[in-house]
Structure 1
Amino acid sequence: MGLVDAISNTNDKAVEVSERYVKTSLKYYKLKVFQQLSISVSIVFKALIIGSLALMCVLISAVGLALFIGESTQNYPFGFLMVGLLFLILSIIAFALRRLINKWVIKKLSKKFFD
């Protein structure tokens, strides 16, 4: 009976170790999901704050530049037209570089998400 008892004891230990492994793995994955979720929410929140402040800066600067160009040329509509064309050119450049921008964003996010 010694062999049967030894095998039974070993099986009990294996079950206990397996249960501890599963519980520890579950805790680890919960922490990992929490970490990734908090990083993602933090990135979105920071992007919203920084993006809104940058947008306000760009809008105020654009109006100022348009007024400056309009005053310099004695033609305010021309100043606003020039600033509009500047933004159109920047938009075309951003559209042309969209794949490069996508790769850069994916690379940055993958480092945050998978590390």
Structure 2
Amino acid sequence: MSILKSLDETSSNAAKVGQDYISTTRKYYELKVFQMVSLLSSYVVQFAILGSLIVLGLIFMAIAGASAIGQYFDNMPLGYLLVGVIFLLLGVLVLIGRKIIDKFIIQKLSKTYFDS
């Protein structure tokens, strides 16, 4: 009977260790998910704030530049047209280089996700 009792205790201990391992692993993954969500939230908020400020600055610079070009050529619509063309060319350049941008973003995010 002592062999059966010993076997019972060993299996009970193994079951307890397994349950502890599962509980600890679950807590670890909950913390990992929380870390990733908080990092993502932080990046989104930073991007929104900085992006809106940069866009606001670009709007004012575009208006000022268009006015200056218009005064230089004594033709205000031409100034605004040239600034519009410049923005269209920049948009086309970004469209052409979007794969490079995607690769850069994926590399940065993979370092953050897999190294931490």
- Superposition TM-score tier, normalisation by shorter sequence: over 0.9
Aligned residues: 115
Counterpart mapping for 1:23-102 below 5 A: 23-102=23-102
Partner Cα separation in structure 2 for residue 113 and residue 44 of structure 1: 15
Taking structure 2 as the reference length, the TM-score comes to: 0.94
**Matching residue's letter, 1:25:** T
Partner Cα separation in structure 1 for residue 59 and residue 73 of structure 2: 21
Taking structure 1 as the reference length, the TM-score comes to: 0.95
Measure how far apart 1:114 and its partner are.
Answer: 2.7
| 1:10-39 deviation digits (Å, cap 9, x = unpaired) | 111101101110110111111011111111
Q: Which fold has the larger relative contact order, with Cα–Cα distance below 8 Å and residues 6 or more apart in sequence? A: 1
**Matching residue's letter, 2:77:** P
* Fraction of identical pairs, as percent: 38
Which structure 1 residue ranges, 5 or more long, are not aligned? none
CA RMSD in angstroms comes to: 1.0
Partner Cα separation in structure 2 for residue 99 and residue 53 of structure 1: 26
Measure how far apart 1:113 and its partner are.
Answer: 2.4
Provide the residue aligned with 1:5 in structure 2: 5
